[in-house]
Amino acid sequence: MDDVPEINVAVIVLAAGDSTRMGRPKALLDWGGVPMVDHVLGVAAQAGCSRFHVVLGKDAAAIQEGAKLRDANVIVNQQPERGQVSSLKLALQAQDFSTDCCICWPVDVPLVTPTDVRALIAAYGQWRASLMRIFIPTHDGRRGHPMLVDIGFRQPFMELKGNESSRKVIDDNHTQVKEVPVDNPGVLADIDTPDEYRSALARSSTANDQ
């Protein structure tokens, strides 16, 4: 981020889900000796980010007790059953005038690297004067996470109805979406089940050994 110091990036970690298929809060899954939510925040910090928001749900108390959460602004979604979009809306609404863009990062996508995050921010810096407002990492032509959103474009997300996802905004505004190719297939991997968790851990260990 040294080459684009004028960009004020807010990282939004979405961790309000019920983790039903996992059977325990995904935010607290061990990832290299730290809770997964702390790992995600750490990656964002390594990428140069310093403004963090974490959205929690019914497991908020347990997660706040079990994780450090850096100096993140913790937002508790009182109705997490309304879905991830409801958490995203709360976090976007919490941004002040000094925020240029937000990186919207589901907590269950832990294989993203600082290089991936920096690539998104660099692309935003390059294209922010154009009509591009949503930046999505891709690997082998497939879209992944996290998504970067220009804060001036948050209104379409705020207008989503309860049964709609952020994909609707992306599809409805496809000419304002910039794909950012990255080498890391981890941007495509989210974790919903114990088997996926074990698989992701193995991939992380292999990558660290290389």
The set of residues, in sequence order, having a beta carbon less than 8 Å from that of 132 and lying 6+ positions away, is 124, 150, 176, 177, 178
Sketch out the chain's domains with CATH numbers. 9-209 (3.90.550.10)
Place 206 in a pLDDT band, splitting at 50, 70 and 90: low
Per-residue pLDDT reduced to its tens digit, 39-76:
999 999 999 999 999 999 999 999 999 999 999 999 99
Per-residue pLDDT reduced to its tens digit, 68-104:
999 999 999 999 999 999 999 999 999 999 999 999 9
Exposed/middle/buried for residue 198 (C-beta within 10 Å: 0-12, 13-18, 19+): exposed
Task: Note the pTM of the prediction, 2 decimals.
Answer: 0.94
DSSP 8-state code for residue 193 = S
Angle made by CA atoms 195, 188, 185, in degrees to the nearest 5: 100
Per-residue pLDDT reduced to its tens digit, 184-197:
999 999 999 999 99
Which residue matches tokens 């997660």? Answer: 63
Locate the DSSP E strands across the chain: 9-15, 30-31, 34-35, 51-56, 73-76, 101-106, 134-139, 142-143, 147-150, 177-181
44 closest CA partner among 125, 130, 97, 102: 102
